[in-house]
Chains A and B, each alone.
Chain A
Amino acid sequence: MSRNKELIELEQRKAFSLAMGGPDKVKRQHDKGKLTVRERIERFVDAGTFVEVGILAGQSEYNEDLTLKKVIPSNFIMGRAKVDGRPVVVVGDDFTVRGGSNEGAVGEKLIFAEQMAYDLCVPMVRLIDGTGGGGSVKNLEKKGYASLPQMKSWSYVARNLSRVPVVSLALGSVAGKGAARVAGSHYSVMVQETSQVFVAGPPIVAKLGQKVEKNELGGSTIHTRNGVVDDEAESEEHAFSRARKFLSYLPSSVQETAPTTDAPKHVPDQSWLVDAIPENSRKVYKIWPVLTTLFDEDSIFEIGKNWGKSIVSGVARIKGRAVAFAASNPYHYGGSWDRQTAEKFVRLVDVAELFRLPVVHLIDNPGFMVGLDAEKSAVMRAGVRALTAVSQTTVPWFSLIIRRAFGVGGGAHQNSNRFNFRYAWPSAQWGSLPFEGGLEVAYRAEIEAAKDPEAKHREIKARLESVVSPFRTAENFNVEDIIDPRETRERLVEFAELSAKLCQPREYMVGYRP
Chain B
Amino acid sequence: MSIHKITSHISGHIVDCEVNVGDKIAEGDTVVMVESMKMEIPIESDRSGKVTELLVNVDDDVAEGQVVVVIS
Which residues from chain A sit less than 8 Å from chain B, CB to CB?
281-284, 309, 330-336, 366, 369-371, 373, 434, 436-437
Q: Flag if B42 contacts A436 (CB, 8 Å).
A: no
**Smallest beta-carbon distance B14→chain A, Å:** 15
Contact A282 B11 (CB under 8 A): no
Does the CB pair B64–A282 fall under 8 Å? no
| Interface set of B (CB-CB < 8 Å, partner A) | 9-11, 35-42, 44, 64
Tell me the bound Cα distance from A166 to B35 in angstroms. Answer: 41
Contacts of B64 in A (CB 8 A): 373
10 closest A-B pairs by beta carbon, nearest first, are: A334-B37, A334-B39, A282-B40, A282-B39, A336-B37, A366-B37, A333-B10, A373-B64, A334-B41, A434-B38
Q: In the assembled complex, which residues on chain B have CB atoms less than 8 Å from the CB atom of A284?
A: 39-42
| A334 x B42 contact (CB < 8 A) | no
- Of the A-B pairs whose beta carbons lie under 8 Å apart in the complex, a sample of 15, sorted by A's number, is A282-B35, A282-B39, A283-B39, A284-B39, A284-B41, A332-B9, A334-B37, A334-B38, A334-B41, A335-B37, A366-B37, A366-B39, A370-B37, A373-B64, A436-B38
A283:B40 contact, CB within 8 angstroms: yes
Expressed in whole angstroms, the minimum distance between the Cβ of B65 and any Cβ of chain A is 9
A282 to B42, CA, bound (A): 11
Instruction: Point out the residue from B9, B11, B41, B42 that lies within 8 Å of A371, measured CB to CB.
Output: B11
Q: Chain A binding site: helix, strand, loop or mixed by DSSP? A: loop
CB-based nearest B residue for A330: B39
Considering the chains assembled together, what is the distance between the CA atoms of A332 and B35 in angstroms?
12
Q: Whole-angstrom distance between the alpha carbons of A333 and B11 in the complex? A: 9
B-side contacts of A366, CB under 8 Å: 37-39
A331 with B38, Cβ < 8 A, contacts A371-B11, A373-B11, A373-B64 known? no
Q: Give the Cβ gap from A225 to chain B, nearest Cβ, in Å.
A: 11
B11, B38, B39, B42: the one contacting A437 at CB < 8 Å is: B38
Among B36, B38, B42, find the residue whose CB has the most chain A CB atoms closer than 10 A: B38
Residue from B35, B37, B44 within 8 A of A333 (CB atoms): B37
Q: Chain A contacts of B39 at CB under 8 A?
A: 281-284, 330, 334, 366
Complex-state Cα separation, A434 to B37, whole angstroms: 10
Residue ID in chain B nearest A437 by CB atoms: B38
Residues of chain B lying within 8 A (CB to CB) of residue A434: 38
The interface residues of chain A lying within 8 Å CB-to-CB of B38 are 281-282, 334, 366, 434, 436-437
Contact partners of B42 in chain A: CB under 8 A: 284, 331
* Nearest CB in chain A to that of B10: its residue: A333
B23 to chain A, nearest CB (A): 21
- Smallest beta-carbon distance B67→chain A, Å: 17
Residues of B within 8 A of A281 (CB): 38-39
User: A371 contacts which chain B residues (CB < 8 A)?
Assistant: 11
Alpha-carbon distance between A333 and B40 when the two chains are bound, in angstroms: 10
CA distance A333 to B39 in the complex (A): 9
Task: Please measure, in the bound complex, the distance between the C-alpha atom of A158 and the C-alpha atom of B64, giving whole angstroms.
Answer: 37
* Cα separation A281 to B35 with both chains bound (whole Å): 12
Contacts A284-B42, A334-B41 known; 8 new A-B pairs at CB < 8 A: A282-B35, A282-B39, A282-B40, A284-B39, A284-B41, A331-B42, A334-B37, A366-B38
A282, A334, A335, A434 pick with most chain B CB within 10 angstroms? A334
Shortest Cβ distance from B44 into A: residue: A331
Closest beta carbon of chain A to B63's beta carbon, Å: 8
Residues of A with C-beta under 8 A to B37: 333-336, 366, 369-370
* Cβ-closest chain A residue relative to B9: A332
Which residues from A are CB-within-8-Å of B35?
282
Nearest B residue (CB) for A367: B37
**Cα-based distance from A334 to B36 in the complex (angstroms):** 7
A283 to B9, CA, bound (A): 17
Docked complex Cα distance between A366 and B38 (Å): 9
Distance (Å) between the CB of B35 and the closest chain A CB?
8
B10, B42, B44: most-surrounded residue (chain A CB, <10 A): B10
Assembly CA distance A331 to B44 (angstroms): 10
Give Cα A208–Cα B64 distance, bound, in whole angstroms. Answer: 27
Most buried by B among A282, A335, A369, A370: A282
Instruction: Tell me, in angstroms, the Cα distance from A373 to B64 when the chains sit together.
Output: 9
Interface core residue of A283, A331, A335 (most chain B CB under 10 Å): A331
Chain A, residue nearest B65 (CB): A373
Chain B contacts for A330, CB-based, 8 A: 39, 41
Which residues of chain B have C-beta atoms less than 8 A from A373's C-beta?
11, 64
Give Cα distance in the complex from A507 to B50, angstroms. 57
- Residues of A contacting B11 with CB < 8 Å? 371, 373
Closest to A369 in B: B37
Docked Cα-Cα span, A437 to B38, in Å, equals: 9
Residues of B with C-beta under 8 A to A331: 41-42, 44
A373 vs B36: C-alpha distance in the bound complex, in angstroms? 14
Closest Cβ of chain B to A163, distance in Å, is: 38
CB distance from A427 to the nearest CB of B (A): 14
In the bound complex, how far is the Cα of B9 from the Cα of A449, in angstroms? Answer: 41
Cα–Cα, bound, A283→B30 (Å) = 13
CA of A335 to CA of B40, assembled, Å? 12
- The distance in angstroms between the C-alpha atoms of A330 and B36, with both chains bound, is 11
Q: Looking across the interface, which residue of chain A has its beta carbon closest to that of B15? A: A282
